[in-house]
Amino acid sequence: MKRKAKTVEPQREIAINLYRSVWEVRNDGWIHLSDNANRLASAEASGGDVDLARQRVAETLDLLEPIESYWAFPGRQGFQRLLSLFQEREYGGFNDLVHRISRALSSQSYRKSFVSLHLDEESAVEEEERRETEVRVDRPYFEVLIVDDLSAQEEETLRQRLRSMRRDEDKFIYELVVVPSFQDALIAVMFNFNLQACVIRYGFPLQSRYKLDILGQLLEGYEDEDLEILPESERGCLLGTKIAQLRPELDLYMVTDVSVEDIAGKLCENFHRVFYREEDDRELHFSILHAIEDRYQTPFFTALRVYSQQPTGVFHALPISRGKSILQSHWIQDMIQFYGLGVFLAETSATSGGLDSLLEPTGPIKVAQELAARAFGAKRTYWVTNGTSTANKIVVQALIQPGDIVMLDRNCHKSHHYGMVLSGAHVVYLDAYPLNEYSMYGAVPIRSIKQRLLEQKRAGKLDRVKLILLTNCTFDGIVYDVERVMEECLAIKPDLIFLWDEAWFAFAGFHPTYRRRTGMGAAARLRDRFRDPEFRQRHVQFKEQFGNPDDGDERWLDTRLVPDPDRARIRVYVTHSTHKTLTALRQGSMIHVYDQDFKQKVEEAFHEAYMTHTSTSPNYQILASLDIGRRQVELEGYELVQKQLDHAMALRERIATHPLLKKYFRFLATGDLIPKQYRPSGIETYFDSEQRWARMEECWHTDEFVVDPTRLTLHIGATGVDGDTFKHDYLMEKYGIQINKTSRNTVLFMTNIGTTRSAVAFLIEILVKIAQDLDERNEDMSPPEAKLHQLKVESLTKRLPALPDFSHFHRFFRSDTGIPTPEGDMRKGYFMAYNEELCRYVTMPELQKHVASGQEIVSAMFVIPYPPGFPILVPGQVISREILAFIEALDTREIHGYRPELGFRVFTDDALARSTDIPAPDAMPVRIPAFKAA
């Protein structure tokens, strides 16, 4: 169809990028507008400086105008009304209307009831009463985006038509946002978190009146001219694809005037339905509501609520069910007072009554898990009621048989190390790059991973390498280029399986920038890539150029490897501590699976592993919370994650610019946490005064590692207080601020989806108070105290112990009779240590003496200092000089596996004496000599 001829206006730049933040700018904009409108009205009434007040109002209106064109309230027309009042210099009426809109926005009352934009109070009340049929109380509200180049009159007609279809029994209520172009649709999807559905109609042009920097990246690879000449149906499809990349949860519809039968067959998978012109408005309305209901449903939570209202007699276990044992008690009534009765009515030990069984789900749990899989982009999802500690063990046990080789980040959570023991894996520990100056580790470079894989290839053991296990993101917020890691590893071993421990990253699937660096996001991208003929071509070219070099050839490490799409299998597992970053009760976790070979190779073993670790009495409240948490992210995940990001950015910006705070504190930036060689973007910090936060997007596209800005590592070396003391004595005891992780000179803060603007302000206030206390302390110091303080600052900022790499497994625990490789059988060491006769204790001084004289001493235990919390020694590992130096320099209160009165538990020489036929450790290539160190 022919597009309407349009006069092309020059584009106006929107002075905002996505990171910091359109919503804050909008909120603040309305507050300023209210203040200035008030001033303007008063100036006019009292004969004051009208021009100045007018200019201020004009500036704020200018800022708000583009933003408001993407929201339903007050909407483009409401905003136009304001502008006309302002232009006609009706300042009294203008002021009243600004206040009414501003109040409705800040209280969000527009979601609950109709807000009239009539100037005169009486007419406004009358209109609101007339529209009372639109009572929205208890009906969740959302907005629907219509992409169509409509006149104001046409827009109003469409609005009325869809409104007229509302029925009392509708569970939800929506309003329309109409945008005229392709680019506007994308901006609306990014700006407006009230949107839940998008209807792409016909005849819309490409360009917006507004220009937004981030659009360039989103439309990378598409020239404006390419888009201009796209046929109608393809333009709509492309828009659908782009919207789905940004916010896959949105329901997409197409309304077309081309033959629907033709289009329906060609429509991309992202569309729910296609309609022919306006003939199906009613169907469209029902479809929109139905699709929201689909995300809103919580099968297990609903079943539990129904169950809790049924009269039942309890003749089985669990006296607490229905609150019985409490209600009859004289002594524990406060339990009900505190928790309320609901939670106990929902307690049952029965799997009957439609409540399904977690171990063999066939009813609501099964459906709820399927919905979770959809939400998190998995092929299948399993709920776990005792944390990711258990989720990790289930996955490892399902995938690994004794003797299989697993490559594992040494700094990963302890559940993985114990998982290795349980499964009997032979472990190759991967070393993350150290950040000695902050006493923490980064992540494992792709070069080291490839190096280890090639080492196994050379030794002819690649078939035994089953799994690579990495933490994404790390506790400190280092995020991998997940797609690249998998792609390059699959080029070396096409059926390799990946387990991404995303305990801290469950929220990441609900924001476009984060999503591409999640296990599930990357798996989906790889699937699309492997199906793409262009990628196949790329692989052919790569093969021609790369040839078939020897496994020890440096080129393997220096070249970006391209896997063969016909051989590579996508086998990805992710574990989430849903409870850590989303709404779920403590211990609520999920396993997400995207494994092409699951049915054929894993399903039975997975079932057994799940049975091994899952309680026969899983906590129903945890399960219900996982179901509700999933509903929340499918309906408001994008908003919540974006706000979490905004709060983090605000916090970073404040600390960086506050004169007193800068003196003692500094949030570590990308340049601090990621060495240069892993940052091709060259960007040191996401923030700069000109581009604000726009650079984050660039790093996240190009760099090997990036920092999750919502994990805020505060460097406190300049305070002269170590991390642990700062956490306990300053933050917790004095100001009640809870944090979790510290290093010698840092403390880690996090924003999450529950963080508010006031919480951010509170933290800044506390840090200012602490800085003032520190100033006072420093001023009152005697000269000897000042000297001591100086030494402490130096020890926390300059003299930090080098973080040791994993040493190696003793040959007794290795099986490498041919070409030596580093994997070790930890399970053998773990169980050998049960035998008292094979172990002894050595004190630190004795150990230092033995190790200095070249004696091999082998740990019988996991030794884990908190912080940093990773095992510095594992069973079967040879104790190195570097490890002892590190332990000695730690000022940590807790070292698990070390008994101060006895020392370290190690194996006796006799116990290890039988291991003569295996090469000595110095013959083992901790680094392959042919390769340069990573």
Ligand X SMILES: Cc1ncc(COP(=O)(O)O)c(C=O)c1O
User: Residue 487 or residue 708: which is nearer to ligand X going by CB?
Assistant: 708
User: Residue 394 or residue 833: which is nearer to ligand X going by CB?
Assistant: 394
List phi, psi (to 5°) of 63.
-70, -40
* Closest residue to bound ligand X by CB: 387
For residues 769 and 565, give the distance between their C-alpha atoms in angstroms, rounded to a whole number.
Answer: 58
Please state the closest distance from residue 404 (CB atom) to ligand X, in A: 21
Please state the closest distance from residue 589 (CB atom) to ligand X, in A: 5
Q: How far is CA 35 from CA 42, 51, 80, in A?
A: 11, 15, 20
- In 10 A of CB 635, how many CB atoms? 19
Please state the closest distance from residue 501 (CB atom) to ligand X, in A: 5
Q: Please report which residue ranges of 582-684 form alpha helices under DSSP H.
A: 603-613, 620-657, 659-664, 670-673
Please state the closest distance from residue 551 (CB atom) to ligand X, in A: 32
- Cis peptide upstream of residue 473 (ω within 30 degrees of 0): yes
User: Residue 518 or residue 685: which is nearer to ligand X going by CB?
Assistant: 518
Helix axes 881-889, 844-852, angle to 10 degrees: 150
CA 801 to chain CA mean position, Å? 32
- The answer to whether 906 touches 860, Cβ cutoff 8 Å, is yes
User: Residue 256 or residue 587: which is nearer to ligand X going by CB?
Assistant: 587
Pick the binder of ligand X from 300, 475, 606, 687 (CB under 6 A): 475
Please state the closest distance from residue 723 (CB atom) to ligand X, in A: 17
Please state the closest distance from residue 613 (CB atom) to ligand X, in A: 12
User: Residue 368 or residue 622: which is nearer to ligand X going by CB?
Assistant: 622
User: Residue 118 or residue 414: which is nearer to ligand X going by CB?
Assistant: 414
Q: How open is the CA angle 127-130-134, to the nearest 5 degrees? A: 105
CA 575 to chain CA mean position, Å? 12
**What are 815's strand-pairing partners?**
none
Please state the closest distance from residue 871 (CB atom) to ligand X, in A: 13
Nearest to 505 by CA among 592, 623, 379: 592
**What are 197's strand-pairing partners?**
144, 251
- The answer to whether 601 touches 593, Cβ cutoff 8 Å, is no
Please state the closest distance from residue 645 (CB atom) to ligand X, in A: 21
Restricted to residues 215-274, the positions that interact with ligand X (CB under 6 A) are: none
Q: Which residues contact 601 (CB under 8 A, 6 or more apart)?
A: none
Please state the closest distance from residue 483 (CB atom) to ligand X, in A: 20
**Residue 88 corresponds to which amino acid?**
E
List phi, psi (to 5°) of 383.
-85, 150
Task: Mark 490-529 with x for binding to ligand X (rule: CB under 6 A) and - for no binding.
Answer: -----------x-x--------------------------
Q: How far is CA 457 from CA 401, 467, 551, 559, in A?
A: 20, 14, 7, 17
Q: Counting contacts by CB under 6 A, is residue 825 touching ligand X? A: no
Q: Counting contacts by CB under 6 A, is residue 614 touching ligand X? A: no
CA 170 to chain CA mean position, Å? 33
Nearest to 37 by CA among 81, 89, 115, 78: 89
For residues 319 and 349, give the distance between their C-alpha atoms in angstroms, rounded to a whole number.
Answer: 9
User: Residue 571 or residue 579: which is nearer to ligand X going by CB?
Assistant: 579
Q: Which long-range contacts (CB under 8 A, 24 or more apart) does 527-534 make?
A: 527/570, 529/565, 530/563, 530/565, 530/568, 530/570, 531/565
Nearest to 184 by CA among 77, 272, 71, 308: 71
Please state the closest distance from residue 393 (CB atom) to ligand X, in A: 10
- Reduce the DSSP state of residue 592 to 3 states and report it: strand
User: Residue 501 or residue 627: which is nearer to ligand X going by CB?
Assistant: 501
User: Residue 348 or residue 589: which is nearer to ligand X going by CB?
Assistant: 589
Please state the closest distance from residue 316 (CB atom) to ligand X, in A: 29
User: Residue 589 or residue 821: which is nearer to ligand X going by CB?
Assistant: 589
Q: Counting contacts by CB under 6 A, is residue 577 touching ligand X? A: yes
User: Residue 415 or residue 456: which is nearer to ligand X going by CB?
Assistant: 415
User: Residue 323 or residue 387: which is nearer to ligand X going by CB?
Assistant: 387
3-state helix, strand, coil in the chain (%, to 5): 50, 15, 35
Q: Counting contacts by CB under 6 A, is residue 471 touching ligand X? A: yes
List phi, psi (to 5°) of 578.
-50, -40
Task: Mark 578-597 with x for binding to ligand X (rule: CB under 6 A) and - for no binding.
Answer: -----------x--------
**What are 898's strand-pairing partners?**
904
List phi, psi (to 5°) of 738.
-100, 130
Please state the closest distance from residue 472 (CB atom) to ligand X, in A: 9
User: Residue 375 or residue 503: which is nearer to ligand X going by CB?
Assistant: 503
Q: What is the DSSP string of 8-65?
A: -PPPEE-S--SSS-HHHHHHHHHHHHHHHHHHHHHHHHHT--HHHHHHHHHHHHHHHH
Restricted to residues 376-395, the positions that interact with ligand X (CB under 6 A) are: 387-389
Please state the closest distance from residue 388 (CB atom) to ligand X, in A: 3
For residues 126 and 10, give the distance between their C-alpha atoms in angstroms, rounded to a whole number.
Answer: 42
**Residue 234 corresponds to which amino acid?**
E
Please state the closest distance from residue 662 (CB atom) to ligand X, in A: 30
**How many chain residues are in contact with ligand X, going by CB under 6 A?**
11
Q: Counting contacts by CB under 6 A, is residue 102 touching ligand X? A: no
Please state the closest distance from residue 343 (CB atom) to ligand X, in A: 21
Q: How far is CA 118 from CA 81, 84, 162, in A?
A: 10, 13, 22
Please state the closest distance from residue 441 (CB atom) to ligand X, in A: 12
Please state the closest distance from residue 830 (CB atom) to ligand X, in A: 20
User: Residue 448 or residue 575: which is nearer to ligand X going by CB?
Assistant: 575
For residues 663 and 661, give the distance between their C-alpha atoms in angstroms, rounded to a whole number.
Answer: 5
Q: Counting contacts by CB under 6 A, is residue 415 touching ligand X? A: yes
Q: Counting contacts by CB under 6 A, is residue 413 touching ligand X? A: yes
Task: Mark 333-372 with x for binding to ligand X (rule: CB under 6 A) and - for no binding.
Answer: ----------------------------------------
Q: Counting contacts by CB under 6 A, is residue 411 touching ligand X? A: no
Please state the closest distance from residue 356 (CB atom) to ligand X, in A: 23
Restricted to residues 11-50, the positions that interact with ligand X (CB under 6 A) are: none
Read off the tokens for 287.
């479809």
User: Residue 506 or residue 699: which is nearer to ligand X going by CB?
Assistant: 506
- The answer to whether 562 touches 487, Cβ cutoff 8 Å, is yes
User: Residue 589 or residue 807: which is nearer to ligand X going by CB?
Assistant: 589
Q: Which residues bind ligand X (CB under 6 A)?
A: 387-389, 413, 415, 471, 475, 501, 503, 577, 589
